Amino acid sequence: MQLSVSGSPTQKFTIGLLRGAAGALIFGIPMLMTMELWSLGFSMSRQRLLLLLLVNIPLLVVLAHRIGFERTFTLREAVRDATIAYGLGIVTSAAVLSLLGILTVDMPANEWLGKVALQSVPASIGAMLGRSQLGGSDPDEDEEEDEEPEPELSTGYFGELFMMGIGALFLGLNVAPTEEIILISYKMTPWHSLAAILVSIALMHGFVYAVAFRGTHQLDEKTPNWHALVRFTLPGYVVTSLISLYVLWTFGRLDDTGWTQVMMSMVVLNFPGAVGAASARLVL
Amino acid sequence: MTITSRKDHSHREQQTPGPIEWLVGLVSALLIVVLIAWMAREAIMQESPPPQLDIEITGIEKAGRYFRVDFALANRSDATAAAVRVEGVLRREGAEPERSDVTFDYAPAHSSTKGGLLFEGDPAAGTLTVRPTGFAEP
């Protein structure tokens, strides 16, 4: 039986939920199966975990407003969608962790809570993305679009930077907890990190402006290329750096660490972060 | 500002950017130049000397059945050390020396890492030495 999206409102909503759960799985599984995140779930600072959980709320609301489960126009609807995504993230994380035998009944409640709470952050972002990226367009809506072309949607400058931040955060959460990020920063010499900075910036710029992906940004012929570099790519790199620092700090990777080492870890994490930020601009 | 068309999912940057965009861009460019300059300075100045490890005991406390000796492992060099083994020896009169050890995954450059050793005897009643005994390059 093929599920039709153009059914009753309840059916539509159920399908939306399933897509969200699918998204939580697709985007969450790499993290749900990362050893470091299990131990971080109970070992990381509770204050920082709480902060991460709180930061996730406005983040989901803004994300919901842009791409949500249904096209949301009011704040109330965005909050509702964000709540659903967070809920889906929690349920999916708990289910997968139980399935994999990482959560067992003899564990203290504190450990359960910590592990599920930490995983629910990336999973809830995944749930939100799943709805937007997996959801095919309705046949009905397509017809409507043919009849009356929708007005072009204008994204604020800071909205654009925000989207880059989400992309960087998502990839950052994926890789920052792993031992490898720290190990790589120890193995790299400052020359390597100089190269990494330049390559990251070039990738960010290339992803969005040079390679003709779907959703590529176009520049007017009159506008020189460096305009976009200064206005979007460089601020994007700074946003990515801030997100990297935040994620590293959250996982306690910066405690009692020298400044140069902090910068090195940041540059390492900026590499995946830059790719995440650039793809967020294309996808979202 | 960016204009997104829902239909073909492409974006077009508007040609008249506001002054705020240039301001943010300029500040960002400045920050990145500072970051690059910092790394370049490190790259040129760094001579990669071997790690220089040091231990500072920060506290001795009775914790349950054992005595816990807290310490910080500092690395004052530009090079990071891996697999740093720290050994504590407690010598008391009329008793065999008591040894305990711990291995740190990393001692990052110019950073300090905290750890602890556990002893059965009271460290205050004897002489305690805690020192790093070896490391590997990461």
Q: Do A182 and B39 touch (CB under 8 A)?
A: no
| A225 and A267 within one domain | yes
Q: Residue A153: what pLDDT?
A: 45
Q: Is A200 part of a structural domain of the chain? A: yes
Q: Residue A152: what pLDDT?
A: 40
Considering A106, A123, A147, which residue would you say is the last residue of a domain? A147
Closest residue in chain B to residue A231, using alpha carbons only: B25
Say whether residue A261 is in contact with chain B using an 8 A CB cutoff: yes
Instruction: Give percent above pLDDT 90 in chain B.
Output: 50
Show residues of chain A in contact with B9, CB under 8 Å.
214-215
Considering A147, A165, A200, which residue would you say is the last residue of a domain? A147
- In terms of C-beta density within 10 A (0-12 exposed, 13-18 middle, 19 or more buried), how is residue A252 classed? middle
Show residues of chain A in contact with B108, CB under 8 Å.
182, 186, 257-258, 261
Look at B109 and A273; give whichever has higher pLDDT. Answer: A273
Q: Which of A147, A200, A232, A267 to mutate to test the interface with B (most CBs of B within 10 A)?
A: A232
Question: pLDDT tens for residues B90-109?
Answer: 998 888 899 999 999 999 88
| A249 and A229 within one domain | yes
Q: Is A152 part of a structural domain of the chain? A: no
| A260 and A130 within one domain | no
- Looking at the structure of chain A, the number of domains it has is 2
Q: How far apart are the first and last CA of chain B?
A: 46
CA dist A177 and B90 (Å) reads 37
Considering A119, A147, A175, which residue would you say is the last residue of a domain? A147
Question: What is the arithmetic mean of pLDDT over A180-200?
Answer: 92
User: Which A residues, 186 through 245, put their C-beta within 8 Å of a C-beta on chain B?
Assistant: 186-187, 189-191, 193-194, 197-198, 201, 214-220, 222-223, 227-228, 230-232, 234-235, 237-238, 241
Q: Is A2 part of a structural domain of the chain? A: no
| A164 and A110 within one domain | no
Q: Is A206 part of a structural domain of the chain? A: yes
Average pLDDT of chain A, as a whole number? 83
Question: pLDDT tens for residues A124-138?
Answer: 999 988 876 655 444
Show residues of chain B in contact with A198, CB under 8 Å.
36
| A142 and A24 within one domain | yes
Show residues of chain B in contact with A220, CB under 8 Å.
12-13, 15
Q: Which of A132, A152, A164, A185 to mutate to test the interface with B (most CBs of B within 10 A)?
A: A152
Q: How confident is the model at residue A107 (pLDDT cuts 50, 70, 90)?
A: confident
Closest residue in chain B to residue A239, using alpha carbons only: B28
| A142 and A185 within one domain | no
Q: Residue B13: what pLDDT?
A: 60
For residue B36, the distance in angstroms to the closest alpha carbon of chain A comes to 6
By residue range, what is the domain housing residue A140?
A: 9-147
Tokens of A221: 């012929």
Q: Is A169 part of a structural domain of the chain? A: yes
> Residue A154 above 60 pLDDT?
no
Q: How confident is the model at residue A98 (pLDDT cuts 50, 70, 90)?
A: very high
Q: Is A33 part of a structural domain of the chain? A: yes
When mean pLDDT is compared over A15-19, A154-158, A210-214, the highest value belongs to A15-19
Closest residue in chain A to residue B4, using alpha carbons only: A153
Question: What is the arithmetic mean of pLDDT over B48-64?
Answer: 90
Residue A209 neighbours by CB under 8 Å, 6+ apart: A216, A217, A219, A225, A228
Q: Is A258 part of a structural domain of the chain? A: yes
CA dist A37 and A96 (Å) reads 14
Q: Is A4 part of a structural domain of the chain? A: no
Show residues of chain B in contact with A182, CB under 8 Å.
106, 108
| A114 and A190 within one domain | no
Q: What is the β-pairing status of strands A217-218 and B11-13?
A: parallel
